[in-house]
Amino acid sequence: MKKVKTPIEVRYQETDQMGIVYHANYLVWFEIGRTKFIEHLGFKYADMEKSNVVSPVIDAQITYKKAIRYGEKVMIETWLEQYDGIRTEYGYRILNENGELAVSGTTKHVIVNKDTFRPMSLRKAFPDWHAAYSKQLNEE
């Protein structure tokens, strides 16, 4: 399985009064990693949106292991956990400066028509994305 690594330098505004990254910011980092993963495959969310399609999160799971503090440099690893032509699940690991696991999680997504929010099949609407995602799963 191909993992895409994205570096992040913790910014002050991402922390709470204790200088620790605020828990909701990990979802933002997951999005950064997911966007880079998709770009690594040769696609862009913006192109999907030009087709009046968006990809909402339908489930998010996060496990916190170690605190990350202001000024640290971390690495987000992102990969395709599961894909069935309709639902896509991405996996994430956030490693601290010492390479230790600080946070892990997954997000599940579908694609929908932006105006109606009616679900769509990624397989049918974006066959090139479907082929790339299927290839990713087969490379495990």
| Residues forming the active site | 16
Determine contact, residues 108/57, Cβ cutoff 8 Å: yes
Torsion sign over Cα 114, 118, 123, 127: negative
Contacts of 134 (CB under 8 A, 6+ apart): 83
* CB half-sphere exposure, 125, CA atoms < 13 A: 20
